[in-house]
């Protein structure tokens, strides 16, 4: 089997000591200068990191000298701002395994363009937000299960990679402490994403109709049968628009689904679905989907399957979980990392 | 009743007060019975002068979640380690009571199927429910979990969740962590947590796989499927492992979802030989004599047959020269067997099998008909009960289940074989296939004349095998978990990511009383 196409020079070197450049420093400004180069970054300024190494060095310098790093523009003289938009490396395309490693600043659309030559695609659910950046989307809780590995930098500047395996049984899943946590425990810098084969010729159909009836028709069909098509939908509170897409040569199951939907009042429409909001995505069962659609307001559904779908917008609010706060205190005792977003709240408290 | 000195322990008295006298046992026989799971290293100890090295203080058998809370709080107050226990089918030492005054918490009395949701297609059940009884109850109601680990006759739902279990149909239905929607657990402080959607942190996936180190899972909600109307099988023979892997990958990446997908290497293929099949390798396997015959019988024949047909001397001779054996196997006119199965409505299953057959034949496969799959189905749960034959012969056998992306699978296969072959006989099959990769399931057997030497050999095989897995780009466990056997390899598996897991342990179990010494390596060594 062909090995993955790799630009090794751009990969995170987990064995490297990113603090070696700042070993001789005696202050935060000096550490930034020694690590990143003269004039590149000073307290009160914002760095657009060009490599994962720069993220590691910035955090290590702050951690060692009591500085702070804000993910976003700097807001005070005791901190530096850190932006990841310039981390745009696509360093590992593995067509054999259907995987790609992309850095945090890569957009969905640019990654999809790069994958075309390899005959691969990110799939409709990710392509629904073409301008989304990989790191921000995963940190915000979008795309559950879409990444097979996450790469992040701990608040003291240490880089980490979660294991690269299709499935594993090596303890709790560390990805769960990175996905959707808005970089609370570590700064997400890259991800290895799962890909689908790109269809030779794809077909897309849209129908629109009463939300509850269409959802029920999809549930009933999916309960017993497998479909070779991908299903997405959006509701504006009044009507549900369903998108059926897939390989033209294997669209027969899609046609069966469309027939079921038309039988309960769906009519064909043209045009695509509007882009969903980027953010937390809930993996929801059918009861939850029905109740959310019935409640009105816009909702987006992707990867509709036998047991439900991705539901967006997902739970709002954010991370003010007491356990998470304790874990954060242990991993970041100097409170190096600062965030702009509002604290999150846990929806369900403990029962006793 | 053989009461030992520990009967005086105040914790035992306290637990009896909480659960009732019948629900707490410190009888010597029970303490020995709960001294280990099915970890083969423990079987080696049984050959030596110290067969039982650790015993729990007692075994507690609660019947409700409230009683579990009470036990957890009592152990915490007494500073006693607590080890959640299912049916003891683990093979990594995950339930071994290695610390003094450990209390084993057997949850098998929490065994109810709580509810079935026909709309969402989910089932909620208590953690102690027996695997096969759970599935049979679902089948009787017209559903399936689709989870058939080879240990299904001797394992529980809680054990599956603790170790991230995989069933033989995982290529379609996923592993247990793919099936679980939410769960309830008693935390180390005695509180109960309920996980599920709507929370910013996916606590379900933190507790799943924690092997009792973060709490005691008491119930879970899992996705089920309508009971399939039909299942169909087809076997194919490939000239090489590489060719078979290529075909299997193509099938998985074509969007097909076989419920069974198993590719056997040449020797493992030989074990599937039967009088009705006629490939050269299978014929060679049947007619092999001497050490090869002993080895074949060792892995494939019933225990009584092994004792009759493969005397200890032949087994010792065969396994004393693993390198020679490996070369003998490589010299066989080898083929690799791929078994594919599809289930669902009959039309869906047959349509998918036809599509997969086209890909297999295009990849160089030779159609072997439905026989290999049907034979596998008939004996699918037999493996777990065959271990004792090899240990009776003074040898060890163990399995190492790892996983890798497709681009690394062949490298891992070759790397582990090269690392282990000088020390033990090794064979493998690849099952649990996914779009991005698959699991590699190595079976290895070794022999030394004495128990101490056998234990050293066993440890060396594991150390070199796991090192090869990591060096070649694989993950050290796919579905058996970590326990004690892979704990020290976790540093290389997770690297600095281990600090995330330590942080969770510190938050949830600051006293370190939940199944101590398992899963996470000692931080003092970490530095």
> Which CA distances in Å does B450 have to B88, B315, B395, B401, B511?
27, 14, 9, 27, 40
In chain A, which residues have their Cβ closer than 8 Å to the Cβ of B410? 1
Residue A186: closest CA among A320, A77, A14, A327: A327
* Residue A167 near chain B (CB below 8 Å): yes
For residue B70, the model assigns a pLDDT of 98
Nearest-Cα distance to chain B for A159, in Å, is: 7
Give dist(CA B295, CA B427) in Å, integer.
12
Q: What is the per-residue pLDDT across A242-299, written as a single tens digit (0 to 9) for each?
A: 999 999 988 999 999 999 999 999 999 998 899 998 888 999 999 999 999 999 999 9
Residues of B in contact with A342 (CB under 8 A): none
Q: How many CA atoms lie within 13 A of B283 on its CB side?
A: 4
The beta-carbon neighbor of A96 closest among B165, B407, B478 is B407
Q: Model confidence at B527, in pLDDT bands (50, 70, 90)?
A: very low
A316 touches chain B (CB under 8 A): no
For residue B249, CA distances in Å to A99, B126, B436 come to 14, 36, 8
| Residue B100 tokens, joined | 């003094």
> Is the CB of A321 inside 8 Å of chain B's CB atoms?
yes
Range A231-269 burial, b when 16+ CB lie within 10 A, else e: bbbbbeeebbbbbbbbbeebbebbeebbebbeebebeee
- Pairwise CB contact (< 8 Å): B500 & A178: yes
Instruction: Give B29→chain A minimum CA distance, Å.
Output: 31
| Alpha-carbon span B208 to A70, nearest angstrom | 33
Give the count of beta carbons closer than 10 Å to the beta carbon of residue B14.
17
Task: Kindly report, residue by residue over A211-253, the tens digit of the pLDDT.
Answer: 999 999 999 999 998 889 999 999 998 999 999 999 998 899 9
Closest to B38 in 3D by CA, of B301, B469, B306, B388? B388
Instruction: Compare all CA atoms of chain A with the CA of B355 and give the residue at the minimum distance.
Output: A250
Contacts of A166 in chain B (CB under 8 A): 403-405, 434-438
Number of residues written out for chain B: 527
Interface test with B, best of A3, A171, A191, A223 (most B CBs within 10 A): A171
- What single-letter DSSP state applies at residue B130? B
User: ipTM higher than 0.85?
Assistant: yes
Is the preceding omega at residue A100 within 30 degrees of 0, hence cis? no
Q: What is the mean pLDDT of residues B124-136?
A: 98
Dump pLDDT digits (tens) for B343-386: 999 999 999 999 999 999 999 999 999 999 999 998 887 665 55
Q: Is A154 on the interface with B (CB under 8 A)?
A: yes
Pairing state of beta strands A187-194 and A147-153? antiparallel
**In this structure, are residues B116 and B141 in contact, taking their beta carbons and an 8 Å threshold?**
yes
Residues of B in contact with A308 (CB under 8 A): 120
Among residues B126, B15, B107, the alpha carbon closest in space to that of B61 is found at B107
User: Which whole number is the average pLDDT over B480-503?
Assistant: 97
pLDDT (mean) for B239-264:
96
Asked which of A17-21, A96-100, B11-15, B498-502 is least confident by mean pLDDT, the reply is A17-21
B477 reaches A (C-beta below 8 A): yes
Write the residue in A180, A224, A308 that is nearest to B200 by C-beta: A180
Least confident of A137-151, A268-282, B203-217, B423-437: A268-282
Q: Do B119 and A14 touch (CB under 8 A)?
A: no
Which among A170, A287, A327 has the least Cβ separation from residue B503?
A327
Query: A331 and B499 in contact by Cβ < 8 A?
Result: yes
Across the range B129-137, mean pLDDT stands at 98
Check if the beta carbon of residue A320 is closer than 8 Å to that of residue B153: no
**Each residue of B380-390: pLDDT tens digit?**
876 655 556 77
Per-residue pLDDT reduced to its tens digit, B50-104? 888 899 999 999 999 999 999 999 999 999 999 999 999 999 999 999 999 999 9
Note the pLDDT tens digit of each residue in B267-305: 888 876 543 444 444 444 444 555 556 566 666 655 555
CB-nearest to A167 from B408, B478, B494 is B478
Q: Which residues in chain B touch residue A1, judged by CB atoms under 8 angstroms apart?
A: 242, 245-246, 249, 406-407, 409-410
Adjacent-strand bridge partners of B219: B126, B184
- Which residue intervals of chain A are DSSP H helices? 28-36, 52-65, 108-115, 124-127, 134-140, 211-224, 252-263, 286-294, 322-331
Cα A182 from Cα B31, distance rounded (Å): 47
A200 at interface of B, judged by CB pairs closer than 8 A: no
Which residues is A46 bridged to in the sheet?
Answer: A81
Would you call B485 an interface residue with chain A, using a CB distance cutoff of 8 Å? no
- Which DSSP symbol is given to B481? -
Residues in B touching A350 (Cβ below 8 Å): 187, 191-193
- Tell if the CB–CB gap between A172 and B245 is shorter than 8 Å: no
Tokens at residue A205, please? 């159909």
Query: Which one-letter DSSP state was computed for residue A106?
Result: -
B494 CA: distance to closest CA in chain A (Å): 6
Are A315 and B199 inside 8 Å of each other by CB? yes
For residue B125, what are its two tokens? 């059940």
Give φ, ψ of B93 to 5 degrees.
75, 20
Q: Give the pLDDT of residue B525.
A: 57
* Cα–Cα distance for residue pair A341/B8, rounded to 1 Å: 56
Q: How close B475 comes to chain A (CA, Å)?
A: 6
Q: What is the mean pLDDT of chain B?
A: 90
Determine whether the interchain pair A288/B479 forms a contact, defined as Cβ–Cβ distance below 8 Å.
no
Among the partner-chain residues A154, A285, A348, the one whose CB lies closest to the CB of B199 is: A348
Q: Nearest CA to CA, how far is A15 from chain B (Å)?
A: 10
Pairwise CA distance, residues B113 & B125, whole Å: 4
- Cβ of B115 under 8 Å from any chain A Cβ? no
Which of A185, A226, A294 lies closest to B259 in space, CA to CA? A226
Subunit contact A160:B208, Cβ cutoff 8 A: no
Using a CB–CB cutoff of 8 Å, tell me whether A228 touches chain B.
Answer: yes
Is it the case that residue B239 has pLDDT exceeding 60? yes
Distance, in Å, from the CA atom of A129 to the CA atom of A107, rounded to the nearest integer, reads 9
Strands (E), B308-451: 336-344, 366-369, 395-405, 425-433, 437-447
Contact A98 B477 (CB under 8 A): no
* B504 vs B510: CA distance, rounded Å: 9
- Interface with A, mutate which of B399, B401, B497 (most A CBs under 10 A): B497
Q: How far is CA B19 from the centre of its chain?
A: 31
Specify the higher pLDDT residue, B338 or A349. B338
Which portions of chain A are predicted below pLDDT 70?
A: 1-12, 317-320, 341-352
Q: Would you say A169 and B205 are in contact if contact means Cβ atoms under 8 Å apart?
A: no
Residue with tokens 């490589």: B330
Q: Count how many pairs of residues, chain A against chain B, have C-beta atoms within 8 Å.
A: 256
- Calculate the CA A321 to chain-centre distance: 21
| Calpha distance A350→B193 (Å, rounded) | 5
Report the run of H or E that residue A345 belongs to, with start and end. none
Euclidean distance between CA atoms A15 and A21, whole angstroms:
15
Domains and CATH numbers, chain A: 12-83 (no CATH), 90-197 (3.30.465.10), 202-312 (no CATH)
In order, the DSSP letters of A33-76 are HHHH-TTT--TT-EEE-SSHHHHHHHHHHHHHHT-EEEEBS--S
pLDDT on residue B284 = 47
Is the minimum CB–CB distance between A8 and chain B shorter than 8 Å?
A: no
Residues 43-102 on B with a CB inside 8 Å of A are none
The CA-to-CA distance between both ends of chain A, in Å, stands at 53
CA B295, B41, B379, B265 torsion: positive or negative? negative
Q: Do B120 and A350 touch (CB under 8 A)?
A: no
d(CA B443, CA B420): 10
Q: What share of chain B is helix, strand, coil (3-state, %, to 5)?
A: 45, 20, 35
pLDDT greater than 60 at residue B5: no
Token pair 């466990």 is found at B477
**How far is the C-alpha of A62 from the C-alpha of A336, rounded, in Å?**
6
* DSSP conformational letter for B495: G
* Among A145, A143, A146, A195, CA closest to A312: A143
Taking contacts as CB-CB distances below 8 angstroms, the residues of chain B near A197 are 253-255
Do residues B164 and A168 make contact, with C-beta atoms less than 8 angstroms apart?
yes
- Is A121's Cβ below 8 Å from some Cβ in B? no
Q: How far is A39 from chain B (nearest CA, A)?
A: 31
Helix (H, G, I), strand (E, B) or coil at A178: coil
CB-CB under 8 Å, A330 with B507: yes
- The residue of chain B with its CA nearest to that of A161 is B497
In angstroms, rounded to a whole number, what is the distance separating the alpha carbons of residues B231 and B194?
A: 36
Contact of A313 with chain B, judged by CB distance below 8 Å, is answered with no
Alpha-carbon distances of A96 from A8, A155, B88, B241, B336, rounded to whole Å? 18, 35, 38, 16, 21
Residue A184 makes CB contacts below 8 A (sequence gap 6+) with: A319, A324, A328, A337, A339
């Amino acid at each position: 089997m062909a090995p993955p196409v790799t630009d090794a020079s751009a990969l995170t070197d987990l064995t490297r000591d990113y603090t070696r450049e700042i070993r001789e420093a005696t202050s935060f400004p000096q550490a930034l200068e020694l690590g990143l180069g003269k004039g590149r970054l000073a307290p009160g300024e914002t760095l657009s990191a060009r490599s994962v190494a720069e993220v590691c060095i910035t955090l290590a310098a702050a951690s060692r000298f009591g500085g702070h790093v804000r993910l976003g523009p700097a807001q005070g003289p005791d901190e530096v701002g850190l932006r990841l938009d310039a981390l745009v490396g696509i360093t590992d395309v593995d067509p054999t395994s259907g995987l790609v490693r992309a850095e945090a600043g890569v957009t969905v659309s640019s990654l999809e363009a790069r994958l075309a030559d390899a005959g691969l695609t990110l799939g409709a659910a990710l392509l629904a937000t073409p301008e989304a950046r990989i790191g921000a989307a995963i940190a915000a809780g979008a795309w559950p299960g879409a990444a097979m590995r996450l790469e992040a930098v701990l608040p003291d500047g240490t880089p980490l990679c979660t294991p690269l395996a299709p499935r594993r049984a090596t303890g709790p899943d560390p990805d769960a402490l990175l996905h959707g946590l808005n970089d609370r425990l570590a700064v997400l810098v890259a991800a290895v994403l799962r890909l689908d084969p790109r269809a030779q010729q794809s077909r897309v159909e849209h129908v629109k109709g009463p939300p509850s009836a269409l959802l029920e028709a999809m549930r009933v069909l999916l309960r017993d049968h497998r479909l070779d098509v991908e299903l997405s939908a959006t509701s504006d509170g009044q009507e549900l628009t369903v998108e059926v897409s897939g390989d033209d040569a294997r669209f027969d199951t899609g046609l069966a689904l469309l027939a079921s939907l038309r039988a309960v009042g769906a009519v064909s429409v043209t045009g695509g679905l509007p882009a969903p909001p980027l953010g937390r995505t809930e993996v929801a069962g059918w009861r939850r989907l029905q109740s959310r659609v019935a409640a009105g307001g816009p909702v987006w559904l992707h990867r509709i399957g036998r047991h439900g779908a991705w539901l967006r917008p997902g739970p709002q609010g954010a991370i003010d979980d007491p356990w998470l706060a304790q874990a954060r205190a242990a991993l970041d005792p100097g409170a190096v990392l600062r965030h702009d977003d509002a604290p999150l709240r846990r929806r369900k408290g403990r029962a006793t | 009743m053989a009461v030992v000195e520990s009967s005086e322990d105040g914790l035992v008295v306290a637990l009896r007060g909480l659960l009732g006298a019948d629900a707490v046992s410190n009888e010597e026989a029970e303490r020995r019975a709960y001294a280990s799971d099915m970890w083969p290293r423990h079987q080696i100890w049984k050959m030596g002068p110290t067969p039982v090295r650790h015993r729990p203080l007692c075994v507690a058998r609660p019947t409700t979640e409230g009683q579990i809370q009470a036990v957890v709080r009592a152990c915490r107050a007494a500073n006693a380690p607590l080890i959640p226990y299912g049916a003891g089918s683990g093979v990594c030492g995950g339930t071994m009571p290695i610390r003094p005054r450990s209390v084993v918490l057997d949850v098998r009395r929490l065994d109810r199927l709580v509810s079935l949701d026909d709309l969402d297609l989910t089932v909620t059940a208590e953690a102690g429910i027996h695997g096969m009884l759970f599935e049979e109850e679902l089948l009787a109601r017209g559903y399936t979990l689709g989870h058939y680990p080879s240990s299904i006759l001797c394992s529980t739902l809680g054990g599956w969740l603790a170790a991230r279990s995989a069933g033989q149909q995982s290529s379609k239905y996923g592993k247990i962590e793919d099936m679980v929607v939410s769960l309830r657990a008693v935390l180390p402080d005695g509180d109960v947590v309920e996980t599920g959607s709507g929370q910013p942190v996916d606590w379900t996936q933190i507790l799943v796989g924690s092997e009792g180190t973060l709490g005691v899972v008491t119930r879970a909600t899992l996705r089920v499927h309508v009971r399939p109307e039909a299942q169909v099988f087809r076997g194919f023979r490939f000239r090489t492992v590489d060719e078979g892997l290529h075909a299997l990958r193509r099938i998985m990446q074509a969007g097909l979802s076989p419920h069974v997908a198993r590719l056997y290497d040449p020797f493992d293929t030989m074990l599937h030989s039967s009088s009705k099949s006629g490939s050269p390798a299978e014929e060679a396997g049947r007619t092999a004599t001497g050490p090869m015959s002993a080895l074949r019988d060792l892995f494939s024949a019933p225990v009584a047959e092994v004792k009759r047909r493969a005397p200890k001397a032949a087994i010792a001779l065969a396994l004393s020269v693993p390198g020679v054996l490996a070369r003998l196997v490589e010299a066989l006119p080898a083929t690799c067997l791929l078994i594919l199965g599809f289930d669902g409505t009959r039309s869906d299953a047959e349509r998918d099998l036809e599509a997969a057959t086209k890909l297999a034949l295009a990849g160089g496969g030779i159609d072997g008909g439905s026989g290999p799959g049907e034979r596998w189905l008939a004996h699918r749960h037999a493996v777990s009960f065959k271990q004792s034959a090899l240990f009776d012969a003074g040898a060890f056998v163990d399995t190492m289940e790892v996983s890798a992306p497709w681009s690394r699978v062949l490298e891992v296969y070759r790397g582990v074989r090269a690392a282990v072959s000088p020390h033990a006989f090794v064979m493998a099959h690849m099952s649990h296939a996914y779009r991005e990769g698959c699991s590699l399931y190595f079976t290895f057997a070794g022999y030394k004349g004495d128990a101490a030497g056998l234990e050293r050999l066993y440890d060396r095989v594991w150390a070199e095998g796991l090192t090869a897995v990591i060096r070649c780009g694989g993950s050290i466990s796919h579905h058996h978990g970590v326990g004690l056997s892979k704990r020290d390899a976790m540093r290389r598996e997770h690297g600095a990511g281990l600090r995330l897991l330590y942080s969770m342990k510190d938050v949830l179990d600051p006293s370190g009383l939940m199944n101590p010494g398992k899963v996470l390596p000692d931080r003092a060594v970490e530095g």
